Amino acid sequence: MLRVVAEHYARGDAHTSISNLLTRLKDANAADAEVFLEGLAAGWPKANRSLVIREALLRLADELQGKSSEAIFRYFLERYARRASQSSPSPNGV
């Protein structure tokens, strides 16, 4: 259901409000965020995707500005680890 909603959102007038949505999405459950992003990608008109990419890169550049290489490495490592731990099944299958 979440993916379908995201597709419809992307097909609409999403380009006017996508930056606020992406800002909120970074704190979402990793599995839900991934499903939502898949829906956005499926519904977003190909001609407008560069606008979203540009906005995401600008936000990322602002967030990482002035940080050392080590701090940037840790930033991405922590984000990846958090997403992986939320989307991976537990070792005992529960």
- Percentage of the chain lying above the pLDDT 70 cut: 79
Cα radius of gyration rounded to whole Å, the chain: 15
- The residue extents of the domains of the chain are 2-87
Report pLDDT digits (tens) over 25-48.
Answer: 777 787 888 888 888 888 877 766
pTM: 0.48
Query: Cα torsion for 4, 7, 12, 13, to the nearest 10°?
Result: 120
